Structure 1
Amino acid sequence: MKITESPIKGCFFMEPMVFEDERGLFYEAYQKNRFDDYVGDKVNFVQDNVSFSKKGVLRGLHFQRGNSAQAKLVHVIKGKVLDVIVDIRQGSPTFGKHVKIELSAINRKLVYIPKGLAHGFLALTDEVIFAYKCDAYYDPKSEAGILYSDPGLGIDWEMAEDSLILSEKDLKLPLLKDLDS
């Protein structure tokens, strides 16, 4: 597996080795020992989530607070997304900065997102199946987020605003500057 640390410390982009032949293909998306060696930490994933989205659906920017904060390993099983990660760790040299990466069933890239980062994605194809592992259980009392269009973040979602489909809840998220620490 090829692994590259993103400009945000602790956030890694991963490209698995893919084995293809006339039958199809195979790749290892996760193997605990190798993964822990790559990220330099022992991560204990406890929950797998899958979402289905249609083109234009934007989910995020989400995170969980406190003891329920989650590290995630994300990838796309079907379709293509624009994946966005924002550093919200107070005191981090990249606080308020974001990175973007295209994840797809074709490029098979994965992203490891450590605790303390907000995450969102935009479905770029008609059907998207997005999967992610979490190292803490979902806790509705700890969920939080940042408005996707926060001008302080300057994220170009690369799709016309009137094409985006967001939940009412995501449309009411605060700006980063208005978050409680």
Structure 2
Amino acid sequence: MKVEKNAGGIEGLCVIEPSVHGDQRGYFMETYNQKDMEEAGLTMKFVQDNQSGSGKAVLRGLHFQKRYPQGKLVRVIRGTVFDVAVDIRKGSATYGKWYGIELSEENKKQFYIPEGFAHGFLVLSDQAEFCYKCTDFYHPDDEGGIAWNDPTINVAWPELDVPYRMSEKDKKWGRLGE
């Protein structure tokens, strides 16, 4: 596996490219190997796996947990998404900066987003299945969020030929720092 640390110049973000072994039958890859991750300096412990399915133009986020922050190792097993992490660590040199990456079933890249980041994604394909491992359990009463279109962050979301689709909750998040 190949690990790009501090992706986009933001400390803690990592893009992981697993080794994919293919032949006429298809392919095989390890999606997670604790030993390999530790050798790459990634020592997080995961306690929960999640998966979601979404249609084209669904935008989920930007979400975070306030008192129980979660690190996330995310990947796409079907379709394509534009995945975004925003640094919300107070005192960080990159506070308010974002990094985005296309994750797809074709490129098989994974993206590690440590605690202290808001996270979201936009589905670019007709359908997408999104999987992620978390370093802490989900606490429904601990949710926080930032508006997907906050001008102080200015995420360059890809333009699509249809309007974005969001939950009512995601439409109501405020700006960074509110």
TM-score by length of 1: 0.94
Flag the structure with higher helix content.
Answer: 1
Q: How does 1:113-124 map to 2 (within 5 A)?
A: 113-124=113-124
Q: Tell me, in whole angstroms, the C-alpha distance in 2 between the residues paired with 1:177 and 1:135.
A: 24
Q: Tell me, in whole angstroms, the C-alpha distance in 2 between the residues paired with 1:34 and 1:147.
A: 36
Displacement after TM superposition at 1:42 (Å)? 2.5
Aligned to 1:53: 54
Q: Residue 144 of structure 1: SS of its match in structure 2? A: strand
Aligned to 1:132: 132
Aligned to 1:44: 45
2:21 to 19, 35, 40: 19
Question: RMSD of the alignment, in Å?
Answer: 1.2
Q: Tell me, in whole angstroms, the C-alpha distance in 2 between the residues paired with 1:19 and 1:160.
A: 33
- Listed as ranges, the gaps of 5+ residues in structure 2 are none
Q: Residue 37 of structure 2: SS of its match in structure 1? A: helix
Runs of 4+ in 1 over 6 A off after TM superposition: none
Q: Tell me, in whole angstroms, the C-alpha distance in 1 between the residues paired with 2:166 and 2:78.
A: 20
Q: Tell me, in whole angstroms, the C-alpha distance in 1 between the residues paired with 2:168 and 2:161.
A: 15
How far does the alpha carbon of each residue in 1:104-147 deviate from its partner, in whole angstroms, 9 at most, with x for none? Answer: 00000000100000110000001100000001000011111100
Q: Tell me, in whole angstroms, the C-alpha distance in 1 between the residues paired with 2:90 and 2:160.
A: 31
Instruction: Give the letter aligned to residue 109 of structure 2.
Output: K
Q: How does 1:85-96 map to 2 (within 5 A)?
A: 85-96=85-96
- Listed as ranges, the gaps of 5+ residues in structure 1 are none
Q: Tell me, in whole angstroms, the C-alpha distance in 1 between the residues paired with 2:43 and 2:103.
A: 24
Q: Tell me, in whole angstroms, the C-alpha distance in 1 between the residues paired with 2:168 and 2:162.
A: 15
Displacement after TM superposition at 1:44 (Å)? 1.3
Aligned to 1:163: 163
TM-score by length of 2: 0.95
Q: Residue 100 of structure 1: SS of its match in structure 2? A: strand
Displacement after TM superposition at 1:159 (Å)? 1.7
